[in-house]
Structure 1
């Protein structure tokens, strides 16, 4: 168990809470978690510092857990600049209350001609986009999230609304809500609903599947929270502090035609520490990981790196879930596409998926049967250093079939059951000029780096090869490296070449004597124009072909 330390003001009582990671559809366990203890006095600054006199300095987004308070409910918005997903902890909070504390622009009453708007209060699941606030006088709904972009400068007219350098403290003096909140869920479009902690204390998410209406949530979908410091979505948070928002996914429309609802119960608010309520939006990663035994078997990945300025970057939102009756291809009812990080600097990893109708998707939550498959994994970085580390937790991986991670650059094959990480390098790419505000990551932006292979190893013995064969290229389509595997039952001469649609030879992958058995080679798709190509194998008097598609 990981032990974390809370520094609290003198006289604050010691309290311990067990943390776990949440999976909708099964209760959390404490098999692995974090124990909070107390020591000493406040003498250093760590994430979760409070504003005001005394109180707790917390790690993790349990920060701010306390009994309902009479004082302000606050949250520290720290660097880096960019998007935050927030929600009101009190009834009656308005857009004007926000505009008095930091810049609101592009909406009625606040620089309406400015574009784009930086405050959006409604999410449209059909368009997959946020809708700008209606401006002055709009009351922010309890339990509903809003998206607010911060600029970290002092521009603007203080008599209207002015940007404030970060960090700054967002606060309300209104009485914190203490009642249950009932909300309609989005069942159309992508079925995402952005909710928010409606209380003045931390909100425990580990039992969300058991909340009233919890059965209206998609049973395998996670809860997502955005971490603006590591610049990642997290698909297994345990709790969120006051003001912090989270994303859920509902089931489709019910046959009855009635709306699907979810109640955020006051009983889920955390009252573990008597302390002034304050947290940071950065407090969105719960230490430790405890997957419920009732949850589906899965393989959870984490990608870690650093920004050019040394800040940590991560991706904590890529998980492969194994369900016996799931589809192998992309299914929007089961799978969740990769969520775009709303930052100019980030590192992301996800699976490339082919749908039944030939469409392709970049997937962050991949639900599939535990059966033989080769899953291409693409990596995209912006403003990140070259060195990255991919980690995984195979504790909940089903037994039986071997599971191997194949590095398409080095050719290394890693047994994910015997190892838990691999370090690798990518070519650095500059940070984006603008913060991307689209919801879903672009499938064409990532470069294929790994293949997650479930089933027999390609390095099978020659005795198993009884005929000449050419396997489908992986990944396909691809914007980067492509793995080409072939097999011959006897030693001899082979020629493996690539041709464009006009029949012109554009690459030779193998030409000469090879031993009997299975062989793999790589095709560098970055050297080819976008289009359709034919991979042709000539061996043992036979000629076999496969199609490869290169995207840009």
Structure 2
């Protein structure tokens, strides 16, 4: 085809060899997997035109059969992206000449573009990856029927695919149900013998041609009376969430929506959040997601995906939490605390949920654009949730993400938390996962308060376990929430503890702990208690003062209460100025005795009384007899059924004459004897 340079001399260059070839430095390359025809022209090679001159050439892609024009490009270096071609169409490239005439490519190309597809990968074996996926398709005019060659929809347990009508899920019961571009749906994977979701994955494709990347995609019909709207990435590449705009441009907040969107994560079965404007706020291709209207009855009814937001890669289909950049740097003005709730019975996980506290410089103390209202799991009747309750317009709202202003001074924020169980229950564990802690400055403190038990734990040092019964977590007001999260922005943490462990070694308990840094640390008081008794001080380990180097400490408790089946330890860290901080408590359950044993009495000699200690590996009848040196039985100190374990008994020796005696322990199968001397 002809190209007019725009120079006064009217020189022309002619490319007549078609796409994928190069003449005089110009090239046209096909990328059928992405649906892009890319034109590159070295402008300095065009006759009569200085290299520094800004030349604009307008290319157009037409269907050779006379169909509608697909796309114009009028700026230097633009790719010639097509809009909505069908696989197998033939295209001509045209360029306007003076007077409106058009030069035509002498050699047209027939292009077989690939259909969009996405492989969803699981783990080998069946039943490991069962669950819902929140999806979309990056192609127009797709129906449920287009996915029926990928999954078996002939099941008796209900619809595999559901769409969202603005207020609830609707089962797609027929092949003709449309799946609009820019909208979303949920699809259930059984991961069974028929459709196993293995490491090779299941590939979904949308026949009818790729959906083209050259156009913005608008999604209309978003009823202002509905709170939640289900959208989907309309492109064959990941998009930056910041490219989702309202009718007048701007971000989601300007269009009347929350800045935070939600995506269902089937493993472990929780809603995860992505906040517009944060680092890594990308939405993967084929990914569906929920947007939340800030106030029902207002805001835009149309949102537009801008083509400029397309990324180079496909992105993580499941989605991930937004990750602020370098939380250790105060200038970031963003920080995040991600909490995890797990409910289990007999080591079987029954339910899980996540909750987030987001610190952002643009957030306010009241409801703002960075909050996210909690959604129930898709089509599930038994579940557990972790939320931060608040009041909005006199109505109780559970938040899966609560937002607060990024602090500008030393302060402590208190956030109510509620753990709710719906038709499930068990042993609940609330933790701050270690792999998410880099989202919060290291000097900030994170503590969980249980108002029911008056317990407060440092989540940097461990998790918190409690009983969660069906119906727990029902709220009448935010203040009735059971838990409080205390986030402190103290100028420095005296000791950044990375590990505190307690383990049994023979007849001792070995304590080890490590620190990442210390500030004016005088040292650690080691404390112990048993069966809820008062804490007892065992010893003191000197600290390192102030250091940025990791340090490791240890303490051995070699004076264990003999009959204690379990012992609990903690550290009382003391600063040089006398202030103190406690670690979480660690309980050690001692190994059960494996033999019948009678320990030496003490004191020995015994003036008035003596203590006897013995161990039993199983329940048995126990008799404690006392014999003099003539072999005569002079006393019986025990004759009863005794449970397995460690036992300690204090006996009176004041009734015995001074002299040497033998104490004999007799069980159903064993006899053990020890000497005892009585003195006056």
Give the structure-1-normalised TM-score.
0.50
Higher relative contact order (CA 8 A, sep 6+): 1
Richer in strand (by share): 2
Give the structure-2-normalised TM-score.
0.41
Larger Rg: 2
